[in-house]
């Protein structure tokens, strides 16, 4: 093999949300690793809402593959400590082959690392045993710290982060309420993940629905959405409630990609935050990566192995499917953590 297919951004202004011509598939030579680099073949591409913010800002160099965290296999290594055949977490992006190591553009704070398949499926390295697990762990356990008997509400509860965050709260014996979309997702949240209740943001009676399942108010809110969902939760906060702002997917199509929306959300909620003595935290997972990743893995991996934390993936197949899968994920049409498999997983062969 000498050719490498990848998706990059088309020229011209970026739309609020991806359009049919936003992404272009190109083909080039497979890159050759220099000293201090390794060539890797992408196995799984992680699709996450924040990537649209990166794309709209054109953060990657012009013509480069669209950014994404990936699980890959080392083909050729010129890095000490990595060898051909190693399975690694990397940031190849929307491409079949990529380089990792010195001089490689990487918007992430997380360096490439070898994966241990004995800890769980290697696809989980970009999910429950990776960035999303750390996000849920930092936002729920470290920032919100729910206590036994408290009511915890998690928006986007069937999504990649939400399903983990809610189950972590259950590990602390809290009462957990999810907010999800269609009925199948709500059933999954209660029947499979073990949440105590789940309401649909599609319901015309959402405010009454949420109030009915939170009769004692809300002590912790894990925010992934913003918009009308936040407005429905706001009046239910108890004294000394805690809120973690993880994501605002409803606003990633805003002109600024949702940056000002955080300030607007804080302004809208400020009277209640202040009078009810609330603790509100903006979660930046990069603040926890160096000091807490290993702690997260040591805590969550055994729970996943024991079936005490369940985790659903929505896996599509083929590099060509990435833009369609990405748009579905942004619309909430996925069911679980969205991944695209672009080459064989050697641990499943």
Q: What is the pLDDT of residues 101-153, one digit of tens each?
A: 988 876 555 678 999 999 889 999 999 999 899 999 999 999 999 999 999 99
Higher confidence at residue 122 or residue 50?
A: 122
- Tokens representing 161? 């982060």
Q: What is the pLDDT of residue 255?
A: 56
| Statement: residue 71 has pLDDT above 90 | yes
Q: What is the pLDDT of residue 58?
A: 79
Q: What is the pLDDT of residue 107?
A: 59
Q: DSSP states of 35-86 as a string?
A: TTEEEEEEEEEE--THHHHHHHTT-SPTTPPPP--EEEEEEEE-STT--TT-
Q: DSSP states of 241-286 as a string?
A: EEEEE---GGGTTSTTTTHHHHHHHHHHHHHHHHHTT-EEEE--GG
Q: What is the pLDDT of residue 267?
A: 84
Report field, pTM of the whole predicted structure over 0.85: yes
Q: What is the pLDDT of residue 252?
A: 61
Q: Which of 151, 124, 146 is nearest to 44 (CA)?
A: 124
Strand arrangement, sheet containing 237-245: 197-200, 175-180, 151-155, 218-223, 237-245, 279-282
Burial of 90 (0-12, 13-18, 19+ CB in 10 A): buried
Per domain, the residue ranges of the chain are 3-126+311-348, 131-286
Q: What is the pLDDT of residue 199?
A: 98
Mean confidence (pLDDT) of the chain: 92
What mean pLDDT comes out for the span 335-348?
A: 95
Q: What is the pLDDT of residues 12-24, one digit of tens each?
A: 888 888 988 999 9
Q: Which of 61-70, 199-208, 270-279, 335-344 has the lowest mean pLDDT?
A: 61-70
Check: CB of residue 140 under 8 Å from CB of residue 116. no
What mean pLDDT comes out for the span 2-28?
A: 91
| Statement: residue 257 has pLDDT above 60 | no
| Statement: residue 263 has pLDDT above 80 | no
pLDDT band at 284 (very low <50, low <70, confident <90, very high): confident
State how far the alpha carbon of 272 is from the alpha carbons of 33, 152, 175, 275, in Å. 55, 17, 22, 5
Q: What is the pLDDT of residue 56?
A: 79
Q: Does domain 3-126+311-348 have CATH number 3.20.20.70?
A: no
Which numeric CATH code is attached to 131-286? Answer: 3.40.50.720
| Statement: residue 1 has pLDDT above 70 | no
- Tokens representing 211? 């109030």
Q: What is the pLDDT of residues 315-330, one digit of tens each?
A: 999 999 999 999 999 8
pLDDT band at 227 (very low <50, low <70, confident <90, very high): confident
Q: Which of 66, 126, 58, 32 is nearest to 314 (CA)?
A: 126
Calculate helix-pair angle for 162-171, 289-305, nearest 10 degrees.
80
């Amino acid at each position: 093999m000498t050719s490498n297919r990848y998706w990059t951004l088309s020229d011209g202004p970026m739309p609020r949300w991806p359009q049919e011509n936003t992404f272009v598939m190109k083909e080039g030579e497979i890159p050759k690793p220099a000293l201090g680099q390794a060539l890797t073949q992408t196995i799984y591409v992680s699709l996450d809402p924040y990537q649209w913010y990166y794309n709209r800002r054109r953060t990657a160099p012009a013509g480069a593959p669209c950014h994404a965290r990936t699980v890959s296999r080392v083909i050729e290594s010129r890095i000490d400590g990595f060898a051909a055949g190693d399975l690694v977490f990397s940031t190849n992006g929307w491409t079949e082959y990529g380089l990792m190591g010195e001089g490689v553009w990487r918007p992430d704070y997380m360096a490439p690392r070898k994966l241990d398949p004995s800890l769980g499926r290697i696809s989980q390295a970009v999910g429950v045993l990776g960035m999303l697990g750390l996000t849920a762990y930092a936002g729920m356990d470290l920032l919100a710290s729910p206590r036994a008997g408290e009511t915890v509400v998690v928006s986007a509860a069937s999504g990649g982060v939400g399903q983990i965050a809610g189950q972590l709260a259950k590990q602390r014996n809290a009462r957990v309420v999810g907010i999800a979309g269609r009925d199948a997702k709500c059933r999954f949240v209660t029947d499979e993940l073990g949440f105590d209740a789940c309401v649909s943001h599609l319901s015309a009676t959402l405010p009454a629905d949420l109030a009915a399942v939170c009769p004692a108010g809300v002590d912790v809110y894990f925010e992934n959405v913003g918009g009308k969902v936040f407005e429905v939760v706001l009046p239910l906060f108890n004294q000394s409630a805690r809120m973690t702002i993880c994501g605002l997917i409803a606003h990633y199509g805003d002109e600024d990609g949702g940056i000002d929306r955080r300030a607007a959300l804080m302004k809208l909620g400020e009277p209640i935050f202040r009078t009810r003595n609330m603790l509100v935290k903006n979660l930046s997972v990069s603040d926890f990566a160096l000091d807490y990743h290993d702690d997260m893995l040591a805590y969550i991996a055994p729970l996943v192995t024991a079936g005490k934390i369940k985790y659903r993936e929505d896996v599509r197949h083929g590099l060509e499917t990435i833009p369609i899968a990405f748009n579905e994920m942004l619309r909430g049409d996925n069911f679980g953590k969205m991944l695209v498999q672009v080459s064989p997983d050697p641990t499943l062969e």
